[in-house]
Structure 1
Amino acid sequence: MAGIRENVGLVLLALVFIFFCAWKALGWRNLHPSRRLAITVGIVFSLVSIVISAVNPPWAGRWILGTVISAFLGYGLLYSLGRKQHEKTLDSFAAETGMTAVRTPQDEESSKELADLKKWMDRDLYKWKVSGQYPALVQKRGPWTLVVRVPLAVDFDLNAPDYTVFAYIRKIPMNTIIIAEMPLKEKDKPKKIFTTGDPEFDKRYYLTGVSASDALAVFKDEVRDYFKKLTSFSGWVRLERFGIYYYMPGMVGSRDDLEKSIALLDLLAKAVEKGAEEGELKEP
């Protein structure tokens, strides 16, 4: 322990980094794989540094300082590389699909789709805002407006600043419904869960929100079968009277991320439209 006392400043630095990693690890199941790797490596190296300080070889101080500095730099590098890949993927997808890429404030001001959404959304403080980071993707799809963007902030109660939001925006006749994978811990499960009568679906996912009838009107056989076939589902989807929002952990890393996320919204949008046409969904 004498070594720890001699290197107390550097040990405290390692502990600060461990605390930083632990804070970033909140919501572990929903973190992007690259973020999980960076956090794991950072914590392991910091713990090794503390053990070395206890043994106190002559090079202990240099090891601890170098490790912590490298961990911080490595974390920043991984984030920067992920950000570059995110931007490249969005730009490429926009060029191939005809979506509008919003890269600057000037692009945002000239985007009719975003301008119309902002005018509409600014009337209600509780609606998800379309402001966020650049680049963003925007496209009008029939009565829906698709927006793909990393927001400046995510709802405060979701503890999730590092998400990409895929939004299908329009006014729809339903109360708020949320779907996500069932948490492993009982304490993490919502107090109110709607069951569908489909044991396989109900075991893997939970539906929660305001109205069970709205949930059942949207999550019928076709939609449930789609979710059951997914090999993995990170994040969550929120359906509300202002649209459908998928919160995907991390940044977009590939075209596959975009195609699967948009396909999910397409499916849910059709289910909502069908429920409204059949009178199962009504204005809240």
Structure 2
Amino acid sequence: MEPIQSSGGGEGAAPLGETSCPLKATEDICFRCCSCTNVTRDQRGIVNHLVAHGDEQFKYQHPPMSPASRFQETSNSQKQKSDWLFKCKLCPHTFLHNSLLIRHTRTHSGEKPFKCKLCSKAFTQNSSLIRHNQTHSSEKPFKCKLCPQAFSHNSSLIRHNLTHSNKKPFKCKLCPQAFSKNYRLICHNRTHSGEKPYKCKLCPQAFSRNSSLIRHNQTHSSEKPFKCKMCPQAFSRYSSLIRHNRTHSGEKPFKCKLCPRAFSWNSSLICHNRTHSGESH
């Protein structure tokens, strides 16, 4: 651990007011661990935290707290907790770490700094980009038992399974709509707020979804890097090439649960399902 001098003369923790840390001290001095994101106002608390990291020098300078003292410290820290939570300026969300707040604010700004090198997709989190990159590989060990879809990650399969069930845990607070995925609820909420955070850099158009902006951007470009191996067609998006390939293979993975019909595209199945429900287009 790189030492930073603290007000108590030890190393490994620093008062927030004396470092370049983006967090700011309020009424009291806060101590930040330089090995992780832990922050506390209690100097003994940071010392015990540093001992847990393996900084042996603190064992001799400051012995560990007794259970009774630790209980008292927990009670005090709970009273102070709301003072150093990181609050979103655009909604009521609060976070224990600034890094989580930064990630959350991207849901408001639409910023997606993690870009795929193989297609036009971009993500708010690096972990999402890593998961996405595996969609470009052929290995998909997690297979759906109800349709031909397969996935690189078990978490993706779990999310996909919700599309086969009636579970829609993400409910809109302004209308009766509910969704199987949180990101769909976030997108839906913009139909109420009118928010369009995804702005085109080449014209005045703006969109509520990043996917809509990506599709729109392709109207400004003639680049079509995804080429069909069986005919001269080429596409600006990899997903469009996959859909096109079904016209050659005859594959129809989207099957109606109420009749024998099957379709090459999910959008066609959705339209077909309306013929059973009587819902108008």
TM-score (norm 2): 0.23
Q: Which has the higher contact order (CA 8 A, sep 6+)?
A: 1
TM-score (norm 1): 0.23
Bigger helix share: 1
